[in-house]
């Protein structure tokens, strides 16, 4: 029966230092509308009926998590203090930590802690579009700008055709065993899809939108605040 009724779990890697924000505080804990930035996406993931548990992968020495109140998110939220030196290491550590809870064909949704504007419809669409897929896939948006390849002095070497180019977002949703094997063999990947691609698989792109932005630089925090405020109203 298990093969026909896979369960859904979320893993949120949040063991990064967020050095590009220049704030001295890991970006998952920066204040956004009075809450830690990570709280917003966790609230959405914990509210999706299909998702059994939401695992947050924190660094081993994270002292900040317990300073905040997460009780409003319910008992589906589980912190794991096992993060690694890269994002992929953190996700893999999370997958290993939950091995005894999950079945090989269960779905794992990996979502960046740094994407606080995740909306319920993003997750619903991902789950609905991929439910019957063998491999899985990810939220993404078509590239709108003209893209330039440059040398190290910022002189343009050429224009990259943007047809068929997409920007990858998260969540990215794959079967537990496929994702774990792919990450165990992958080198230097910055998302889960790249690991599956390196294994010769073809994840599906599910149309998201630009509101699911990743907070990387200080301006992004203002944009995220604007998006969340306008969504609330």
Contacts with ligand C5P, residue ranges (CB under 6 A): 13-16, 28, 57, 83-87, 90, 112-114, 214, 216
**Cα 226–chain centre separation:** 21
Residue nearest to ligand C5P (CB): 16
Longest Cα–Cα distance of the chain, Å, equals 58
Between helices 37-46 and 120-130, what is the axis angle to 10°?
50
Q: What are phi and psi of 109, to 5 degrees?
A: -100, 115
* Smallest distance from ligand C5P to CB 153, Å: 26
Q: How many angstroms separate the CA atoms of 205 and 140, rounded?
A: 6
* Smallest distance from ligand C5P to CB 215, Å: 8
* Smallest distance from ligand C5P to CB 180, Å: 16
* Smallest distance from ligand C5P to CB 92, Å: 10
- Number of Cβ atoms within 10 Å of the Cβ of 67: 8
Contact 217, 21 (CB under 8 A): yes
Tokens of 156: 């343009």
For residues 53 and 111, which CB has a smaller minimum distance to ligand C5P in the complex?
A: 111
Q: What is the DSSP secondary-structure string of 148-174?
A: EEE-TTS-EEEEE--TT-EEEEEEEEE
* Smallest distance from ligand C5P to CB 28, Å: 6
Tokens of 108: 């794992």
For residues 28 and 194, which CB has a smaller minimum distance to ligand C5P in the complex?
A: 28
Residue 63 in 3-state DSSP? Answer: coil
For residues 57 and 183, which CB has a smaller minimum distance to ligand C5P in the complex?
A: 57
For residues 202 and 222, which CB has a smaller minimum distance to ligand C5P in the complex?
A: 222
For residues 6 and 79, which CB has a smaller minimum distance to ligand C5P in the complex?
A: 79
């Amino acid at each position: 029966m298990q093969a026909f009724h896979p369960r859904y779990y979320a893993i949120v890697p949040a063991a990064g230092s967020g050095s590009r924000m220049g704030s001295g505080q890991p970006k998952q804990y920066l204040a956004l509308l009075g809450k830690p930035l990570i709280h917003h996406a966790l609230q959405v993931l914990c509210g999706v009926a299909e998702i059994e548990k939401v695992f947050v992968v924190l660094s081993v020495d994270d002292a900040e998590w317990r300073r905040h109140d997460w009780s409003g998110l319910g008992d589906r939220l589980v912190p794991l203090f096992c993060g690694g030196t890269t994002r992929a290491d953190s996700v893999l550590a999370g997958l290993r930590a939950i091995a005894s809870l999950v079945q090989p064909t269960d779905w794992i949704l990996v979502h960046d802690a740094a994407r606080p504007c995740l909306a319920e419809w993003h997750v619903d669409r991902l789950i609905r579009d991929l439910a019957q897929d063998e491999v899985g896939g990810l939220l993404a948006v078509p590239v709108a700008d003209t893209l330039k390849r440059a040398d190290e002095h910022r002189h343009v070497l050429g224009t990259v055709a943007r047809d068929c180019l997409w920007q990858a977002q998260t969540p990215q949703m794959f079967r537990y065993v496929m994702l774990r094997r792919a990450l165990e063999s992958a080198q230097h990947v910055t998302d889960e899809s790249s690991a599956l691609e390196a294994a010769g698989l073809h994840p599906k792109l599910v149309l998201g939108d630009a509101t699911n932005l990743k907070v990387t630089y200080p301006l992004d925090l203002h944009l995220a605040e604007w998006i969340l405020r306008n969504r609330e109203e």
